[in-house]
Amino acid sequence: MSVISTKTTCPYCGVGCGVIASMHENGRVEVQGDPDHPANFGRLCSKGAALGETVHLGERLLYPEINGEQVSWEQAYSAVATKFSDVIKQHGPDAVAFYVSGQLLTEDYYVANKLMKGFIGSANIDTNSRLCMSSVVAAYKRALGEDVVPCNYDDLERAQLIVLAGTNTAWCHPVLYQRIAQSKETNPNVKIVCIDPRRTQTSDISDLHLSVRPGTDAILFNGLLVWLETAGELDQQFVNVSTEGVEQALESARQSSPDIHRVAQACGLSDEDVERFYRLFARTERVVTVFSQGVNQSSSGVDKINSIINCHLLTGRIGRKGMGPFSFTGQPNAMGGREVGGLANQLAAHMELDNEAHRDCVAEFWQTSTLATKAGLKAIDCFDEIEKKNIKAIWIMATNPVVSMPDADRVKAALEGCEFVVVSDCVRNTDTSRLADVCLPATTWGERDGTVTNSERRISRQRPFLTAPGLAKHDWQIITELAQKMGFKKAFPYRSTADIFDEFARLSGYKKDEQRQFDISGLADMTLHEYKEMQPIQWPVVNRHNQADASIMYGDGLFSTPDRRARFIAITPKPPAASVSEKFPFILNTGRVRDQWHTMTRTGMSPRLSTHRIEPFVEIHPDDAKRLNIVDGKLAQISSETDAEIFVRVRVTDRQQRGSLFVPMHWNLQFSGQARVSSLIKTVVDPISGQPEFKHAVANIKSCDARWYGFIISRKKPVLKYSRYWARSRGKGFWRYEIAGKESPEDWAVHARTLLNVEAGEEWAEFYDKADGHYRAARFIDGHLDSVIFIDSSILLPPRDWLISLFQKDSVSASERASLLQGLPPAEVEDVGKIICACFNVGDKTICKAITEQGASNVAAVGELCQAGTNCGSCRPEIKELISECVVSS
Ligand code: SF4
C-alpha cells in the first residue's frame, strides 16, 4: 500500500512542533513528530499525536451558507461585499471590524490586515491573541523597543536555572516541558523554580514551588530586583552601557518590596523560600525565566512581565546563550500575527500605527491613500461597540468568541444583536457560527498551505496533504476574493501563499530603520519551489544564502530603542481588579487541560483526546469543600459578578489553594449544557495591552443538589430532557454523555425510550428498581450494543470503560449481557480506571497495580509494564504523581 508523507507543523500550541503526516491509500492519516524539526526533534504531545483523528469531515462546514441555507460562493461574496461596502459608505470604515485568530497562517493574517488597515481604512482588526499574549507584546516593546522574544528553545537545555512563572508547561507546552524535564534528568544540577498559586504537573518537577498568593508576581520580582541590587549581584557594566532607567525601577521596587520578609508576607510565602529563590537567581549565571498566561492574563500583566525583564536587565542576563526572559506563546501562529500586525494597534512588519514614518512606509509600499491613521478597537472594545451597535458588520475568522471572550454571555448577546455577522471557519456548528448571517467554509490543518512562527521566532511551513473538501477555500483566498469584490483588485492580485509571503518579506526590509530587528527580507524572491521546500528558519533573515545565527537576539547589547538601550520600567504592583467578598468569596482561575485545545472544536473530535478529562470540572481545596458540603464527584454550581452561572463536576484536591477555584476554559455549548467558564469572567483588562484578566475573577460555589445522576453511551446523539447538567465526549463510533438532574421524569422506563428514540421491535433490555431510583437499559441492534443508559440516585454508577469496550465488539455474549445490566464487568475483565495515558488507553488502576503489585518505582518502569507514557509522554507527570500517591498509601 502506498503512503505519501508530508512534513508540516502542528496547528495547536506555540511550541510549533514539526510533524510528518503520512497519508495511506485508504485515507488513514498517521502522524509522527519530525525528527529534524528543531522545535521538537521528533517529540509530540498527546494533542499532536492525535491529529490524525481530527481530519475527518463529520463536523465540517463544507459550503457557504446564508442564514443556514447553502449558497454559491458568488452569492456569499456578493452578500458580504455589498453589506460591508454599504455600511462603510453609510457609517464610515470604523463601523466594520474583523476579529481574527492566532490559528490563521501568516499569509491569511497578512491579507486580512492589509484589507482592513490598508484599504477599508480602519484599524478595526484585532485577534484572539489579544486574550493570550498582548501583554507580552507591550512589555517587550517597553523594555526592548520592539516585540522581540530574545530567547531560543535550546536555551532551556543550556540554562542552569529555569524559572517558570505562571505557566503549567507540562500541560500547555508539553514538548517544551519534556525538553526541560529531560535536561534536568541529564543534569541534576539544573534547578527549576515554579511560581504558581496551584500545585501543577509542572511544579511537581520543580526544586522549589512558590505557591504565591494570586496576583502578587510583580511584588516577588520587584523584591528580587531590590535584593539583587542590595547584594551587589548585578552586571554594572551592562546596566551602564546598555540600559536606561535603573534608578527609577529600583526606587519603585523598594516601595513595594523593600525586603524579603515583606515580600514573603505579601506573596503568602515563607521568608526562607523567597530567600532561596533570590539566592538561586543571583548565584546562577544561566537563568531563563519562562512566563505564560498565568502572568499575561492579568489586569496588570504588562507590569508583571516588565518586573521579570527588569531582573534580567539588572543581571545582564539577556542576549547570551542559556538566559533571558522567555514568553511561551499560546497559539500556533500568535507570533506570525504579531509580525504581520494582527493587533489593532500595529502595522505590518513590526511597524507602528502611531508612527508617521511607519505609516508612510507601509502606505507607499501598499500603494494606498486610505491607510488607517489611528489604532483600531482592541477585542474587548470591539465587542463593546458591537453591543452599542456602533459596529454594524463583523467578520470573525477561525475563532469562537462566544466561548473564549470574557463575559461570554454578553458577547453572545452583542452578536445576536449585530446587524451583520460573517463567520469563516472549518467547523459548521460552533457557538459563534450559530449566530452568523453568513458562514464561509475555510480549509483547515492538512489542507492549508503557508507559514507559522513559533515562540522562538522560527518560521515553519504548514503544507497540505489533503484536498479541500466540499467548497472550502483557504482563508487568504476568501479574503483576497472578497477584497477584489470590494474594488481592491489591484492590491490583492495573489494566486498563492507564496505570492503573499514574498510581498510580506519584501515589506519587512522596505526602508527599514536600523534598530528594527524584524526582517525577513532575505526570504523574498524565492521561487515557488524554494517556498514550498522552505526549512524551519528563525528570523531575522537578511540573507537566506548566508543565514547568520538568529538564535539569540541583542547579543551585541544594542536594543531596538532609538538610543539602542534597553529600558528598565518602574513598576508599582497593582492588586487584581476584583476582591473577594461575602457574596463572592472565591478567586476563580481558568486555564487549559492536557488534551484539549481552546474551545474543543477540533480536539473534541478525537476519541483519544476525549478520554483524559471527559467533563468540565472545578478544582477546590478539601477544606473549602468540607466547609461547604461539596463532595468530590458530585456537581457544583458556580456564579460570579457577571450574573452567569455554570454547572461542573467537582474535583476536590489539595493542589488548589484554599479560597481558590480552577475551572478549565475549553467546554462550549456543543459539549456541555452550561459550562462556559468565560461567561463568569467579568471584563477587566490591562490598561496598556487590553488583555483581559482571566486568572482572577471572584466567584461563589455551592453544591448542586441533583436528585439523580447517570450516563448514556450511544451511537446516536440522544435527545436530552430533564438534564440540568450534561457533558458529552466522543468515543470511537459512539457518544458518551454524563447527565444529572433535579427534575425527574415520571417513569424512567418510558422516558429512556423517548430519549434514545427506541423503536417498536428493537431489542431493548432493562432493569428498573423504582424505589431505589436505579434504572439501566441497553439496546442491541443486529447483536451489537447500540446504546446504554444508567441512572442512579447517587454518583455511585458503574465504571464506564468496560461498557465502552463492548461498543467495539461485533456481538455481545450472553454473559456480557447479563453483566451489563448488573453494571459490573464479568470477573475476568479488568477495570482499568480513569484514563491517564490516552495513547495506549491505560487507566490509573492499571498504573497503580504496576506500582504497588509489580514494583514499578519510576515512570520508565511503569511504561515497561503497561506501556503508559511510552509514546507522546504527555502523561508522564501524572504517572509520576500516581507513583508518589501509591507509595504514600501503600
Ligand atoms: Fe502540537 Fe503538542 Fe507540539 Fe504544542 S507541544 S505544537 S500541541 S505537538
pLDDT tens per residue, range 617-661: 999 999 999 999 999 999 999 999 999 999 999 999 999 999 999
Residue nearest to atom 3 of ligand 1 (CA): 17
- The atom of ligand 1 lying closest to the CA of 49 is 8
Cβ(328) to ligand 1 under 6 A?
no
Q: Is 172 in the pocket of ligand 1 (CB under 6 A)?
A: no
The grid coordinates of residue 803 equal 461498557
Q: How far apart are CA 466 and CA 22, in angstroms?
A: 11
pLDDT of residue 167: 95
| Cβ of 16 less than 6 Å from ligand 1 | yes
The CB of 47 under 6 Å from ligand 1? The reply is yes
Of the candidates 369, 329, 373, 347, which has an alpha carbon nearest to the alpha carbon of residue 508? 347
Least confident stretch, 48-57, 234-243, 383-392, 869-878: 869-878
| pLDDT-based confidence at residue 887 (cuts at 50, 70, 90) | low
Average pLDDT value for the chain: 94
pLDDT higher than 70, residue 888: no
| φ/ψ (deg, to 5) at 440 | -115, 120
Find out whether the beta carbon of 39 lies less than 6 Å from any atom of ligand 1: no
Cell numbers 499560546 correspond to what residue? 330
- Please write the tens of the pLDDT for every residue from 129-185: 999 999 999 999 999 999 999 999 999 999 999 999 999 999 999 999 999 999 999
Q: Give CA torsion, residues 282, 287, 293, 296, to 10 deg.
A: 60
Beta strands in 715-783 (DSSP E): 725-731, 734-741, 763-769, 774-781
Residue 389 in this model has a pLDDT that exceeds 90: yes
Amino acid making up residue 281: F
pLDDT of residue 1: 66
Q: Which atom of ligand 1 is nearest to the CA of 19?
A: 8
pLDDT classification of 875: cutoffs 50, 70, 90? confident
Most ligand 1 atoms within 8 A of CB, residue of 8, 9, 10 to mutate: 10
Does ligand 1 have an atom closer than 6 angstroms to the CB of 50?
no
Q: How many whole angstroms separate alpha carbon 777 and alpha carbon 247?
A: 73
Cα separation, 621 vs 281, whole angstroms: 31
Q: What is the pLDDT of residue 57?
A: 74
Q: Which ligand 1 atom sits closest to the C-alpha of 45?
A: 2
Q: Of 462-471, 505-514, 810-819, give the lowest mean pLDDT range.
A: 810-819
Asked whether residue 689 carries a pLDDT value surpassing 90, the answer given is yes
| pLDDT exceeds cutoff 90 at 209 | yes
Q: Which helix (H) or strand (E) holds 135?
A: helix 130-144
Average pLDDT over residues 752-758: 94
Which residues neighbour 787 within 8 Å (Cβ) at sequence distance 6 or greater? 712, 713, 714, 715, 716, 718, 734, 756, 778, 779
pLDDT at 331 over 90: no
Say if ligand 1 is within 6 A of residue 49 CB.
Answer: no
Q: Percent of the chain at pLDDT above 70?
A: 99
| pLDDT given at position 745 | 93
